Amino acid sequence: MLAALVVFVMALAVGAYVGYPLLFPGRNPQVEDSERREFELRGAQLAGALRELETDHSLGKVADDDFAERHARLAREIEFVEQRLAGAEPSDQTDVDELAERLVKARRAARKHARSGLCPGCGRSNPPAARFCMNCGSRLEEREPTS
């Protein structure tokens, strides 16, 4: 009797092990764990890249318009990773209008800064024909012709 009970329990366990993927086809815990680790690693990499970008921008190594584009791209990728880690499907409707407005604002600020003749590195005023700052040697952004 005890042997029959053990055989029955073993058969039930084997049936559950074999039947689980058939009953729940989209749920594989091993795959979910490895995907989660990959997303956690990617999130950490993106966060590091974002910190490095912000540091480079604050030191003047990255121009304002490049910073805005790269920052927006990294922010979108981080949002995607966070949504996946939270278990939500990534939203196709990111706030494109807000992103576009920030990008346009950053580009306008960069153009205004370039037209002013100020050095992006040290802030010193330079003559209109100068291509490099007379104080620190940084490359000046292209200026739009004034008429």
Q: Domain containing 58: what range?
A: 31-86
pLDDT at 114 over 60: no
Instruction: Say how many domains are in the chain.
Output: 1
Question: CB–CB of 106/65 below 8 Å?
Answer: yes
pTM: 0.42
Per-residue three-class SS string for 108-120:
HHHHHHHHCCECC
- Domain membership of residue 7 (yes or no) is no
What's the mean per-residue pLDDT of the chain?
Answer: 76
Give the tokens for residue 58. 């604050």
Longest dimension (CA), the chain: 102
The reply to whether 144 falls in a domain is no
The pLDDT value recorded for residue 28 is 55
> pLDDT-based confidence at 103, cuts 50/70/90?
low
The answer to whether residue 75 sits within a structural domain is: yes
Percent of the chain surpassing pLDDT 90 = 3
Whether the pLDDT of residue 119 is over 70: the answer is yes
Q: Which of 141, 61, 72, 57 is nearest to 103 (CA)?
A: 72
Residue 54, in any domain of the structure: yes
97 in a domain, yes or no? no
